[in-house]
Structure 1
């Protein structure tokens, strides 16, 4: 009985775990190895991150969505705006030149149209018998009016020649402008485009002159006189004065 009780007590005793004995030097060495591994891992991750940052910095700014050089951006925009401005200026100059040419052509066409209308009106009256043409040279129409430009005046004169089989009329015209300047009345002899005072004419039946002249600022034109000279004659064959048309 005593032996049985003794066996039971041995069976019911606590379990004993047997572990190998590790010295503190071995533990310290393991800790050092783990720390070295962690340092190596950290250093490797740092190198990988730095190399990635270097590659990113090598990429041009225009390939990065959010980073750019402000000075470079402004310079490029200024250059683009300057190019656009130069193109618009060139187009404006072309349009302005075209408008100027169109205005000149319109003015010439208007002048030619007035001349043709006056000639047509004259010949219609002649054919209808409403206008009697005397034998020899005569002034059919003489007009003076102010131009739309400041200090500019326009005048027109029409000469006709009648009679049986008239010869060509060779002669010249002289124009005198009566104007008032600084409360003084003056008479100025006009000159043609060649700075000559005689306007040469050569025609058989009909001749028309339409020209303009400019007076000094502040001058007021009151009337105009025309004289018709036959070739080699010092005495005027015809003289007519016209007032300024309003």
Structure 2
């Protein structure tokens, strides 16, 4: 009986050591927390990690010398400068177009003025010729010269239309007499030319478009026209003739 009692005590002692002794199992005691609190704590920790990472990133930029804020400010300034330059470029183009249009207008006006001046100079020269002719006719009438005809102011000029083309002009006038009736006649242009080393004399007809070579006047008549030499010919001189009834009544010679 005593032996059984000792065995029971020994079993209880082993159980107590197993539960409360050094070999006893460890027990974790946890307090129960609601889900929203755990979510808030997680968000707070994530924010802390983000702030720490941003701090390391900014510190790294400072260490490497990269200033993003300064670069963005510089980019903004460059964009503003670009906008100003584009505005100035548009204004400069408009001014250039306006200046070009003004220059074209001025150039056209200058060309018209130059053409007008040339026309006035030509008219002035003809008026001088007419005045000289009138003075000559008046002098001839007052001195009682024998009635007749004269060719004055014969001029020969190359034409810009092509090689071998020439313009001529002259004044055919009556001298002496009263000049009460109209005079009728014709004129001729006779050219002395050199062709392949050989001289020749040819009669040239006025080109189409005029009144031919017929003349009708009372005191004088201005004559002008154009003629073309044969191909390969070189003009030496020109003789103008005024004829009545097939007879030469006046003549004059000129060289180009």
Q: Normalized against structure 1, the TM-score is what?
A: 0.56
After superposition, the C-alpha distances for 1:81-123 in whole angstroms (9 at most, x for unaligned) are: 1221111111111111111112111111111111112221331
Are positions 1:169 and 2:182 aligned together?
yes
Pick the structure with more helix per residue: 2
3-state SS in 2 of match to 1:160: strand
| Structure 1, unaligned runs of 5 or more | 1-38, 40-49, 230-234
Alignment of 1:92-111 (within 5 A): 92-111=107-126
Alignment of 1:1-246 (within 5 A): 66=81, 68=83, 70-71=85-86, 73-127=88-142, 129=143, 132-134=145-147, 138-147=148-157, 152-160=166-174, 162-163=176-177, 167-180=180-193, 182-183=195-196, 185-191=200-206, 194-203=209-218, 206-213=219-226, 215-216=228-229, 219-229=234-244, 235-244=245-254
Q: Cα distance 1:147–1:200, how it changes in 2: closer, same or farther (>3 A)?
A: same
Q: Distance in 1 between matches of 2:240 and 2:156?
A: 16
3-state SS in 1 of match to 2:210: coil
Structure with higher Rg: it is 2
Paired residues of 1:174 and 1:197 also in contact (CA < 8 A):
no
Q: Cα distance 1:103–1:193, how it changes in 2: closer, same or farther (>3 A)?
A: farther
Q: Normalized against structure 2, the TM-score is what?
A: 0.54
Q: Distance in 1 between matches of 2:192 and 2:223?
A: 20
- After superposition, the CA RMSD in angstroms is 4.5
After superposition, the C-alpha distances for 1:26-56 in whole angstroms (9 at most, x for unaligned) are: xxxxxxxxxxxxx9xxxxxxxxxx9xx9xxx
* Total equivalences in the alignment: 189
| Structure 2, unaligned runs of 5 or more | 1-50, 52-68
